[in-house]
Amino acid sequence: MAGDAELKLLGWWAPGVSPYVLRAQMALAVKGLSYEYLPEDRWSKSDLLVASNPVYKKVPVLIHDGRPVCESLHIVEYLDDAPGLAGNGTSILPADPYSHAVARFWAAYVNDKEERGGKVEETLSGLRHLEAALAECSKGEVEAPFFGGGSIGFLDIALGCYLPWFEAVGRLAGLGPIIDPARTPKLAAWAERFSVAKPIQQQAWGRQAGGVHHYGALSKVEHRGHRQLIKDLVVPLWQKK
């Protein structure tokens, strides 16, 4: 629990739709922190959002005792570093400086790849790099279950927030699994473990609940006659030519 600290999270009106809001929610769940969720209308931004994030006017924004923290990766780091937010005592970032730097490097890599998009070859290459990073970030443990070693860490959350979207997009566009066991077996096994981890499942963000929710959200777009638009945008990114 957050103790006497007041935590608010500004996110989309439909929780779980934005991977970046989901990233902040995952970190809060892993830390065991309670918070108030304040839904925002994407097309009609509240005065609180504009005042809290005047530069980008985007969610997520974490407000801790009246002070705003913007951008999802910064929020995850803040939750781990801020005094008075011990929660359940879980550390998200490694204590070792080198492991800390490596985790931040790969998290920035994931963020950059997903925000910019790219060609099919670049996307597949990125997943192969993350396959190798899983071994590098596991602190030398044999078959460590997560990027953070024996427990969910910074890079797990940075990448894990995209899993429901990967599944929903793959199903809607008929592409099959984005993280393919045939191409990246260790990464696929990690995705399964992450999806059923207790703090993730408790918040209904696991494979069964999260995937269905995102599939349903994207299906609404399909029913509005935009299925071809989704395919035009998604297939060039995810389908191997």
Domains and CATH numbers, the chain: 7-81 (3.40.30.10), 97-238 (1.20.1050.10)
Please tell me the pTM assigned to this model: 0.82
pLDDT (tens digit per residue) in 184-198: 999 999 999 999 998
Nearest to 69 by CA among 110, 17, 127, 9: 9
Amino acid at residue number 140: G
pLDDT (tens digit per residue) in 69-121: 999 999 999 999 998 887 888 999 999 999 899 999 999 998 887 665 555 45
Nearest to 30 by CA among 148, 131, 163: 148
